[in-house]
Structure 1
């Protein structure tokens, strides 16, 4: 539950707050942009094969960074792309998570991670800062002979766009719980509000100031979700059952864990809706590019009653440029191994289906392997799941041996997600016990 609380607090801040002043581009690159400060405390070196690593930290192009190199470096570099940081003004850096830092160092890889030069949902900052740091690594250490990139959540959006923004620069990628469906994430958040409103005969869009305090509790009462908890009695009303069906359909379709996932995330997703902030940069008001004009809903009768909403910012929605929330076209051109939780509704499983479709449309399915993990919380992976995926990516990039994956388009079988889920993690903390035991 601690992870859930942290994620919830970050999510509630998604559309709130004001950004620091970013207009002054005359600031020296070894300083953060105006309005930002850096928190990058010294990172203790690891010991690899009896020898300490070399850790380098600083600020480059307004972004804080950490670089770590083992004594016996294999000449290869792993970049780490962090997820959404909220709307605060402090820049921080994460080492690779899930035990990946230790794993890559022991395999001889160096790694590097950037804070990005700004917070908010700013994929452009992530794409540029990560690329700039990888280039800077060549000056700090040496030019790497191979560059892989891994990351989580918004970092998956950074990865998907990075492969297309700098084709040929990265040699392989490991996005996890990633926003690979780009704008469709914000369409899903919009859908959640509008379908609930339609089923409860509530008219509350644009989102009013009293939405969370007054409107949402009244809708929850009509839906029967007020006391709904994962694994508990099914308290939903007929309208609530239709709402759940719609949410499951829009988040990836019928699949194991979908019903308890709805109960787990039901309140959180309402909390992502706040009044519009059109004067803020796009990174601080992503909802303005969301739309449901072309959405087909289940149950079908919702298509006659759901309010249709056009993007408030068509230009940001349609531009091919590298914006704060850019498109991912589905042209990786290098090996990609992707992990995603089946019950994650903060970044829903449908993100994988959208990316699969984009990649297939461009004739690049040979470059994509996707794996479903039987978890409900956001980015809830075990070190074994991530480590296996990393090792398989390394084997693919080094030896051309494509690893196995799941068929993402058919998630309804009772055992879907079992193949790559860590069975040893089932009895531990977290949400895995919301799923039946895999055979």
Structure 2
């Protein structure tokens, strides 16, 4: 917020009460940039900051993103796009948080401010990462009149309700079998303490054969990747799909390792979400966890069986325990309010290309299957392409990988036809963009998402 206000002062941008900036655009910024850009910034009606940076030789394309304001001006992807004549900008989540529908609408509002200053864009693309990827998918559905395409990256494309039902499943199994008494829904005000309690409990369980078997079971049911970052943030190689112990270690790291552990985000975001929607929007009433295990990734399912056998545990007994456990019911009004954030229904009117890391512990890759299936059911499959990278951790894409995705969509807009989006084609496109490290697109088929909403 401070940076947005400071930039507004420098370039004469507006505030919530001020009129949008007038043509011919903003004031000079980013001194020394060969793109010789100008910038505008200000605040939208709800107080959300926005910023845009525009090269002197603007080619009419603008890329808009949640989370650009405040950090995107000096991002390496911004420099790459400016060099190609592409403008970049967007908003911040500082005001909207988990009010996803407001964040979606703010992308269109920010674009309107940009176009008032610089003229109508030839191509307007919404593209963000994490919550920004989720919002970009929502923009494609809600604002196809304002935007021409969307590139959601590492977004939770199971939708507001679906992705948090999936997270509930993971923590429910862990609480029942590994960490009784730890919070699943009612997250205390001291989120850091809750996060630490979960990580400590998982670390203790990881030291025993029984704990490791049950961690693997929870990860399989919750469709987590069996690949995670080490506690110091470093990335181990992907585990051998035939090595049950390596798969379990990967699942444990996805849950409790790295700078953004799954259980930590499940604590902090759950508390924020329930404050926004005024109750609990997640449930597991009627959920058959034995069935979910049967439908999970085959390699991790086999690992669960092997680990249970090694620990001399009865898997069927644990599944019966889960089936008999008191379930968590949702607050219907909270579900309704949360679903208004966005239920991604696949009704696409503009081209969309998704980018997902197969080792993303936050925006789990199975959600991409649900998004793709809904688009095909809605008859919009020709407008959608989905791509994957062999990356571990949340949103671990290189600037070249992101740029390649955006250039792919630009080709679709300019020609009316998709270029090849296979892994070799995407890697070749990224490699031609001064890629360092080597691009990591891979062929991948995600497992079927086990908590779609609506079902």
Select which of 280, 292, 295 maps to 1:288. 280
Q: How far 1:158 sits from its partner (Å)?
A: 1.0
Alpha-carbon distance change, 294 to 110 in structure 1, aligned in 2, over 3 angstroms: farther
Please say if residues 129 and 395 of structure 2, whose CA atoms lie closer than 8 Å, have aligned partners that are also in contact.
Answer: yes
Which residue is 1:304 aligned to? Answer: 323
The answer to whether structure 1 residue 63 and structure 2 residue 48 are counterparts is yes
Separation in 2, partners of 1:401, 1:273: 40
Separation in 1, partners of 2:379, 2:248: 34
Which structure carries more helix by proportion?
2
Separation in 2, partners of 1:174, 1:334: 11
Q: List aligned pairs for 1:93-242, cutoff 5 A.
A: 93-95=70-72, 99-116=76-93, 118-182=95-159, 183-200=161-178, 202=180, 207=186, 212=194, 216=198, 219-220=201-202, 224-225=205-206, 235-242=207-214
Alpha-carbon distance change, 173 to 190 in structure 1, aligned in 2, over 3 angstroms: same
Q: How far 1:274 sits from its partner (Å)?
A: 5.0
- TM-score where L is the length of structure 2: 0.67
- SS in structure 1 opposite 2:343? coil
| Aligned-pair Cα RMSD in Å | 3.9
Please say if residues 140 and 352 of structure 2, whose CA atoms lie closer than 8 Å, have aligned partners that are also in contact.
Answer: no
Separation in 2, partners of 1:196, 1:155: 29
The answer to whether structure 1 residue 265 and structure 2 residue 254 are counterparts is yes
Separation in 2, partners of 1:126, 1:213: 27
Please say if residues 186 and 290 of structure 1, whose CA atoms lie closer than 8 Å, have aligned partners that are also in contact.
Answer: yes
The answer to whether structure 1 residue 44 and structure 2 residue 30 are counterparts is yes
Which residue is 1:20 aligned to? Answer: none
1:327-373 residue CA offsets vs partner (Å, 9 max, x unmatched): 22122222111111111112211221221122122121211111121
| Unaligned residue ranges in structure 1 (runs of 5+) | 1-26, 32-41, 84-91, 226-234, 408-414, 433-439
Q: How far 1:421 sits from its partner (Å)?
A: 9.4
| Unaligned residue ranges in structure 2 (runs of 5+) | 1-14, 20-27, 228-237, 240-246, 295-315, 443-455
1:98-149 residue CA offsets vs partner (Å, 9 max, x unmatched): 6321222222222221125714222123212211111111211112122111
Q: How far 1:424 sits from its partner (Å)?
A: 5.6
Q: How far 1:74 sits from its partner (Å)?
A: 1.6
Q: How far 1:166 sits from its partner (Å)?
A: 1.6
